[in-house]
Amino acid sequence: MRSRLATAIVGLVASLALSAAIYYATGWFVFFVAIPFLPLLFRGLRDRDAAETGDGPAMRACPECDFRTTDPDVRYCPRDGTALD
């Protein structure tokens, strides 16, 4: 959680500095507040890496077909209704 907070603070400072530089150079008021939210875009990559290393939720598979899921709420295969292993 600390690295995410640090990234957000650095992003906020960078966006304010970029906004000030654009205002100084062009006279246009542009306010970039979307930059601190970039870590949210890459959250899925970290979750996928955690699932591949075994740190994430357990993978459940259908014994009849190739259906696989990590969602703990899914207990049956949506294709044929077989209980997942």
Let me know if residue 33 belongs to a domain: yes
Let me know if residue 64 belongs to a domain: yes
- Claim: this prediction has a pTM higher than 0.85: no
Tell me the residue range of the domain where 64 lies: 2-69
Let me know if residue 56 belongs to a domain: yes
In which band, very low, low, confident or very high, does the pLDDT at 36 lie, cut at 50, 70 and 90?
A: low
Residue position matching structure tokens 């650095």: 10
Is residue 27 predicted with pLDDT exceeding 70? yes
In which band, very low, low, confident or very high, does the pLDDT at 26 lie, cut at 50, 70 and 90?
A: confident
Per-residue CA distances from 23 to 13, 16, 19, 30 (Å): 15, 10, 6, 7
Let me know if residue 78 belongs to a domain: no
Let me know if residue 65 belongs to a domain: yes
The total number of structural domains that make up the chain? 1
Let me know if residue 26 belongs to a domain: yes
